[in-house]
Amino acid sequence: MANHKSALKRIKQNAKRASRNKSVRSRLRTRINQFESVLASGDLEAAEAAFRVAEGELHRAASKGVIPGSRAARKTSRLATALHKARTGAAAE
């Protein structure tokens, strides 16, 4: 256990931040999974709406420092590519 007042404060701060980061990361994963399941179902309008929500969640997590900005951009790009492929695949049929 910590002996100094500053070390005790640091432990409390780390626990608080870890809890906050965990909830942000969990919400992010949920939104991405929702997008992927809607996309798999084939409902393109719902997939576009879910994409917008997932994209916002990615950028929110990046702005809070939970994930790096480059990771958010990469995941957004991959989700957008999947949506585009589904849209053009549906249009080709």
Architecture of domain 5-92 in this structure? Up-down Bundle (1.20)
Tell me which residue of 77, 23, 27 sits closest to 51, measured CA to CA. 77
pLDDT at 1 over 90: no
Q: Could you tell me the residue ranges of all domains in the chain?
A: 5-92
How many other CB atoms are found less than 10 A from the CB of residue 81? Answer: 10
Structure confidence by residue, pLDDT tens digits, 71-87: 999 999 999 999 999 99
Burial class (CB in 10 A: 0-12, 13-18, 19+), 61: buried
Structure confidence by residue, pLDDT tens digits, 23-38: 999 999 999 999 999 9
Tell me which residue of 59, 57, 50, 56 sits closest to 29, measured CA to CA. 57
